[in-house]
Amino acid sequence: MIITCPKCARKHKVNPDSIKTFAKSKKKTILATCRSCKFKFPVAMDTLVESPKVTETVAPNSVLSARKICITLSKGGVGKTTTSVNLGAGLALAGYKVLLVDTDTQGQSSYILGKRPSAGLTELLTKELPLDECLMEARKNLWLLGGGKSLAGVKRIIDRKSFGAEYTLSEALKPLDQEYDFILIDTSPGWDQLIVNVLFYATEVLVPVALEVMPLHGLSEFIKSLGAIQKYRKEIQLKYILPTFMDARIQGPQTLHDQLKKLYPTHLCTPIRYNASLAEAPSFGKTIFEYAPGSNASEDYRELVKKISQDQTNLV
Ligand SMILES: Nc1ncnc2c1ncn2[C@@H]1O[C@H](COP(=O)(O)OP(=O)(O)OP(=O)(O)O)[C@@H](O)[C@H]1O
Ligand SMILES: [Mg+2]
């Protein structure tokens, strides 16, 4: 279900829970606010409600919900964090309101953004602090829920839960659903309870695949694990396969790219080229758009921002 802003023409995905709530109130029209241009406009309920059946009540204020994209692959060093941060920064620069959630004990997202948040995901999941105290505005439009070492303790808490463990993250992030256009979730390498939680929360998966090394085994293993999750959670979909470390000067990456193209034609994104600026930028606490705006890496991430934000199979 979608509504289109009459002013800026941006399409918004409608939160089905919100429709149920508004339908119950018997109002004929509701007022929607475009998260991009802030324009307020009326929406007729009968254009939103498909079925008159109203079964449950929730109380959100808005009908718009964020796209939740996790950036994940069990293999380490493939560009997950680099992609999470630069995709987030690029979307923020394009005017979208973005939340970057770092679920990794390495806490690299904060480092790349040059921030040292005093609280983050751990304090949220352990309920030590209220949600707004765990968030940090890292850049205009780009908010951060930082990760770090303390998440190791959270994983143990999740492991000890006797039921509903896989929904721990979803429950904690639920209030943020309608606050952002995009919620991006960076994950650690490997496979653990926190990654399972991410896959029970996100609806779209972006997998970076490093073309430097033999990646296809890791990718097919991951797709199998995702399939196991999809048996219990239908909403999660593999959406984007992003080749990283593309170096056209050598044959290996090109061959692997061709293989990916054959195997996953609909998921494949334009590759992110190998570029030393991407490795240098973090030590200056800068995104690629700040550190090397004219570089080909900046161009590649801009292209990714465009592809994802304009993806008609997902409405923003
Ligand atoms: N396209 C690229 N060209 C050159 N260097 C890159 C590129 N992408 C990422 N890097 C560098 O490669 C290293 C690994 O990238 P990154 O930390 O994003 O991977 P990761 O998948 O998040 O790793 P981990 O699994 O450990 O979390 C970093 O030093 C990063 O700066
Ligand atoms: Mg990482």
What is the 146 CA–ligand 2 centroid distance (Å)? 12
Least confident stretch, 103-117, 209-223, 267-281: 209-223
Ligand in closest contact with the CA of 82? 1
What is the 279 CA–ligand 1 centroid distance (Å)? 7
Residues 6+ apart with CB under 8 A from 160: none
For residue 316, what pLDDT is reported?
37
> What mean pLDDT is predicted for residues 121-133?
95
> What mean pLDDT is predicted for residues 142-152?
95
CATH 3.40.50.300 domain position(s) in the chain: 67-309
What is the 130 CA–ligand 1 centroid distance (Å)? 32
Q: pLDDT tens digits for 29-48?
A: 888 887 777 788 888 777 77
pLDDT over 70 percentage in the chain: 92
Best probe residue, ligand 1, of 70, 71, 82 (max atoms within 8 Å of C-beta): 82
The rounded mean pLDDT for the chain is 89
pLDDT above 80 (res 132) = yes
Read off the pLDDT band of 194 (50, 70, 90): very high
286 lines ligand 1 (CB under 6 A): no
For residue 63, what pLDDT is reported?
52
Does 3.30.70.1400 match the CATH number of domain 67-309? no
What is the 105 CA–ligand 2 centroid distance (Å)? 9
